[in-house]
């Protein structure tokens, strides 16, 4: 189970997640400090490591819209959070898969900040309300890449398996 640490509205852009003025910083080890930088209270809590790994940022429709900057994904992965949204923009979704950011698409999800969610293979259970919501399933190959930690670890593991 994981707790919803931030509930966001629809159309959260990559500029909200990782402001463009920090684009000169691209190393995954450095990007996390700029996550939701303009939401100062939340950014401070992230940087103070006030949340457990696996905590959830919940979005509405079209989460991650805007530019194709992959730093919007790496900044969140650096804090070991997951994203659950009603829908996720195409480019943000692919960047998340490639970088191994855990994302779940759950169109009917209803939850509040502080609610504990249990994510199964095909559903999300809101422990606070007892309601269950169906997820949109990613194709197996895309899910495999995300679960491996991203495209590089996935490819490395496949190459190592071939050598064995």
Whole-model pTM: value is: 0.94
**pLDDT score recorded for residue 25:** 80
Q: Scanning the structure block, which residue is given the tokens 């990559």?
A: 14
Question: What distance in Å separates the CA atoms of residue 86 and residue 53, rounded to the nearest whole number?
Answer: 22
Which residue range forms the structural domain that includes residue 125?
2-163
Domain of residue 58, CATH code: 3.20.19.10
DSSP 63-117: BTBS---THHHHHHHTTT-EEEES-B-HHHHHHHHHHT--EEE-TT----TT-EE
Quick one: tokens of 2? Answer: 């994981």
Into how many domains does the chain fold?
A: 1
- At 67-125, the pLDDT tens digits run 988 999 999 999 999 999 999 999 999 999 999 999 999 999 999 999 999 999 999 99
- The DSSP code for 119 is E
- At 23-67, the pLDDT tens digits run 988 788 899 999 999 999 999 999 999 999 999 999 999 999 999
- At 119-161, the pLDDT tens digits run 999 999 999 999 999 999 999 999 999 999 999 999 999 999 9
């Amino acid at each position: 189970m994981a707790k919803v640490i931030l509930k966001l509205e629809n159309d959260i852009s990559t500029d909200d997640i990782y402001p463009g003025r920090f684009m000169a910083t691209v190393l995954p080890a450095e990007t996390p400090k700029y996550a939701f930088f303009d939401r100062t209270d939340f950014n401070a809590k992230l940087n103070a490591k006030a949340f457990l790994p696996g905590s959830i940022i919940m979005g509405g429709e079209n989460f991650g819209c805007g530019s194709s900057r992959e730093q919007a994904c790496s900044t969140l992965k650096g804090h070991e959070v997951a994203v659950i949204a009603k829908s996720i923009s195409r480019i943000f979704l692919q960047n998340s898969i490639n970088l191994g950011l855990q994302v779940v698409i759950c169109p009917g999800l209803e939850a509040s900040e502080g609610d504990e969610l249990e994510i199964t293979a095909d559903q999300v259970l809101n422990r606070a309300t007892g309601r269950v919501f169906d997820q949109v399933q990613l194709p197996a190959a895309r899910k495999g890449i995300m679960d491996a930690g991203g495209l590089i670890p996935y490819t490395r593991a496949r190459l190592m398996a071939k050598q064995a």
